[in-house]
Amino acid sequence: MGALISLCEPPVYTGHAMDCIFCKIIEGTIPSKAVYQDEYVFAFTDINPKAPVHLLIVPREHIASLGDTSNDKKELLGHLLRVAAELAGQRGLAKGYRVVVNTGEDGGQTVDHLHLHLLGGRAMTWPPG
Ligand code: 5GP
Ligand code: ZN
Query: In which order are the strands placed within the sheet that holds 41-45?
Result: 34-37, 41-45, 53-59, 116-120, 97-100
Q: What digits encode the pLDDT tens for the residues 39-60? A: 999 999 999 999 999 999 999 9
67 lines ligand 1 (CB under 6 A): no
Residues serving a catalytic function are 115
Q: What digits encode the pLDDT tens for the residues 65-117? A: 999 999 999 999 999 999 999 999 999 999 999 999 999 999 999 999 999 99
Residues 68, 73, 74, 77, CA torsion sign = negative
**How many helices and strands (H and E) does the chain possess?**
2, 5
Return the bridge partners of 117, or none.
56, 100
Tell me which of 46, 99, 106 to substitute to probe ligand 1's pocket, judged by most ligand atoms within 8 Å of the beta carbon.
46
Read off the pLDDT band of 15 (50, 70, 90). low
CA-CA distance, 126 to 129, in Å (whole number)?
A: 8
Read off the pLDDT band of 18 (50, 70, 90). confident
Read off the pLDDT band of 12 (50, 70, 90). very low
Res. 2: pLDDT tops 50: no
84 lines ligand 1 (CB under 6 A): no
For residues 26 and 16, is the Cβ–Cβ distance under 8 A? yes
